[in-house]
Chains A and B, each alone.
Chain A
Amino acid sequence: MSGRGLKELSIATLVVLTIGYVLVFFWVPMDADQGFKQKIFYLHVPLAIVALLGFVAGGVEGYRHLRTDDRRHDANSYVFIHISVVFGVATLISGMLWAKASWGHFWVWDEPTLVSFLIVFLLYATYYPFRYAIEDRDRQARYASVFAVTAGAFVPLNFLAVRMAESLIHPRVFATSSGGLPGSMMLTFLVCIVGFGLLWATLVKLELLGKRTSGQLSRLRRTLQAEGYGEGGGSVSGRIAPNMESR
């Protein structure tokens, strides 16, 4: 992957998100029940959907890594999960603010989607300690892919179980977010989802590019050291993620 397209992608993200939020604040009618507070819906729900799709995509990339043994898929899987975890933090915070604003509590255990999301988030938070507890590079990549596949399959299963627990114990109080959404709200919502999808893609591309660059840099530095040019500038510090060195 090269840096080409990053600029275009960033601009597209900015444009779509701007359009989305102009629609949110100036066009979409106020929610009859919740009023202005309901606007956080256009931030919270797209973030959550993109994060969940990112987790599943990380699982698919993990599967492809196991199939092909190509390290690029492992790097993709790592970055997909990493950016989705960041989106996950934003989802949880925005969800808690919304819950406080409309129900009076920061946390509502009756809301199955929020609880499922927390469980998924807790699982993916263990991806980092798990990954970096394995020293051998090849094994680390392989084990991380196994994690990504298992956790990716867990995401839908978990949503099913948590939702069932709620609807079986007591009926669901809140209507589903897409049910009965007026056309203008639906359109704005879709624009916001696309915007956040683009933001996710931009961040993924940026992160992958950064890894790629630091990999190339350390390769160059090693070559220079091997040829006896100086002592090098110390080790490549702070590397906390798989890079895409071919060696």
Chain B
Amino acid sequence: MTPSRSAFGAIVAKDLRTELRTMQSLPAMVLFAVTTFVIFRYGLDRTALSGSLAGGGLWTTLLFAAGLGINRIFLAEREEGGFDAFRLAPVDRGVLFVAKATVLFVYLAAVELVVVPIFAIFFLSTWSGLLPMLPILAGANLGLAVLGTLISSMAVNSRARDLLVPLLLLPLVVPLMIAVTAATAHLLDAAGPDFEKFGTWLLVLALYDGIFALIGYAVFEFLLED
């Protein structure tokens, strides 16, 4: 096993184990999302959602829940000196980026595994659109993971960390949100899923993910220098 790959495995395992033992982020993200659904029920004054309202409600909630996780993804590294330790390790700097993005992807998938079915139970009249949503969820998670890792590492060393993460994240994810909400709106149509432009939006999503994965990987080493 190459040093990079073992470092990657070690970081991912460390983060997931820490999360499983402390449960610092995931329960908060789930709780936040479910509460937001309740607020949407009254804010929109609807007991059932479909089409673009369903897509918008679901993705707004997931985005803000992701923000909670993104805020904390580098917290341990900063407070416990993990950045210094990593700088001392003789591995490629990009490994930390890939590892953290993977961890964030797993967090988001875990949250969605709980939250999306709850959303369906609360609001959706037909569940047939949920399965085709999987590639959209995966693409959105990938984009949020790479962008979130980049932004979190930028913000974590500043004074206004938890303020900056949403401020930087929201404008940058607008194209991603356009793609996922447009694709989801058709899938969650009251009359059953509709695949109009589904492939096109997945392509936009893939393009977005690819560009930010490359940029994130390329610039990440400069964020670690000290």
Which positions in A face B, CB cutoff 8 Å? 66, 119-120, 122-123, 126, 129-130, 133-135, 139, 142-143, 145-147, 149-151, 153-154, 157-158, 160-162, 164-165, 168-169
Residues of chain B lying within 8 A (CB to CB) of residue A119: 171, 174
Q: Are B159 and A133 in contact (CB under 8 A)?
A: yes
Residues of chain A lying within 8 A (CB to CB) of residue B163: 129, 133
How far apart sit A108 and B173, CA to CA, in the bound complex (Å)? 21
Residues of chain B lying within 8 A (CB to CB) of residue A145: 222
What's the nearest-Cβ distance from chain B to residue A126, in Å?
5
Q: Are B164 and A146 in contact (CB under 8 A)?
A: no
**A165/B182 contact (C-beta < 8 A), A129-B163, A157-B208, A158-B175 known:** yes
What's the nearest-Cβ distance from chain B to residue A55, in Å?
13
Q: Are B157 and A139 in contact (CB under 8 A)?
A: yes
Q: Among residues 79 to 107 in chain B, which have CB atoms less than 8 Å away from a CB atom of chain A?
A: none
Interface residues as binary, B121-164 with A (CB distance below 8 Å gives 1, 0 otherwise): 00000000000000000000000000000100011011110011
Q: Are B200 and A168 in contact (CB under 8 A)?
A: yes
Residues of chain A lying within 8 A (CB to CB) of residue B167: 126, 129-130
Select one of A135, A146, A161, A169 contacting B154, CB under 8 A.
A146
What's the nearest-Cβ distance from chain B to residue A140, in Å?
9
Number of interface residues of B (CB under 8 A): 33
Residues of chain B lying within 8 A (CB to CB) of residue A151: 172
What's the nearest-Cβ distance from chain B to residue A146, in Å?
5
| Given A146-B223, A147-B154, 7 further pairs, Cβ under 8 A | A123-B172, A126-B171, A133-B158, A142-B223, A143-B223, A153-B211, A154-B175
Q: Are A157 and B171 in contact (CB under 8 A)?
A: no
What's the nearest-Cβ distance from chain B to residue A221, in Å?
27
How far apart sit A221 and B156, CA to CA, in the bound complex (Å)? 35
Q: Are B182 and A133 in contact (CB under 8 A)?
A: no
Select one of B160, B171, B179 contacting A122, CB under 8 A.
B171
**A123/B171 contact (C-beta < 8 A), A142-B222, A146-B219, A165-B178 known:** yes
How far apart sit A6 and B103, CA to CA, in the bound complex (Å)? 52
Q: Are B178 and A133 in contact (CB under 8 A)?
A: no
Residues of chain A lying within 8 A (CB to CB) of residue B200: 164, 168
Q: Are A158 and B174 in contact (CB under 8 A)?
A: yes
Q: Are B211 and A143 in contact (CB under 8 A)?
A: no
Residues of chain B lying within 8 A (CB to CB) of residue A139: 157, 226
The answer, yes or no, to whether B197 is at the interface (CB within 8 Å) is: yes
Residues of chain B lying within 8 A (CB to CB) of residue A147: 154, 168
**Which partner residue on chain A sits nearest B160 by CB separation?**
A133
Q: Are B215 and A150 in contact (CB under 8 A)?
A: yes
The answer, yes or no, to whether B204 is at the interface (CB within 8 Å) is: yes
18 interchain pairs, CB-CB under 8 A: A119-B171, A129-B164, A130-B158, A130-B167, A133-B158, A133-B163, A133-B164, A134-B158, A147-B154, A149-B215, A150-B150, A151-B172, A153-B211, A157-B211, A161-B175, A161-B178, A164-B204, A168-B182
Q: Are A149 and B175 in contact (CB under 8 A)?
A: no
**A129/B219 contact (C-beta < 8 A), A142-B225, A162-B175 known:** no
Residues of chain A lying within 8 A (CB to CB) of residue B225: 142
Q: Are A143 and B174 in contact (CB under 8 A)?
A: no
Q: Are B208 and A130 in contact (CB under 8 A)?
A: no
**Which partner residue on chain B sits nearest A62 by CB separation?**
B219
Closest 8 CB pairs of A and B: A161-B175, A123-B171, A133-B158, A133-B160, A122-B171, A126-B167, A133-B159, A146-B219
How far apart sit A162 and B204, CA to CA, in the bound complex (Å)? 11
Residues of chain B lying within 8 A (CB to CB) of residue A143: 154, 157-158, 223
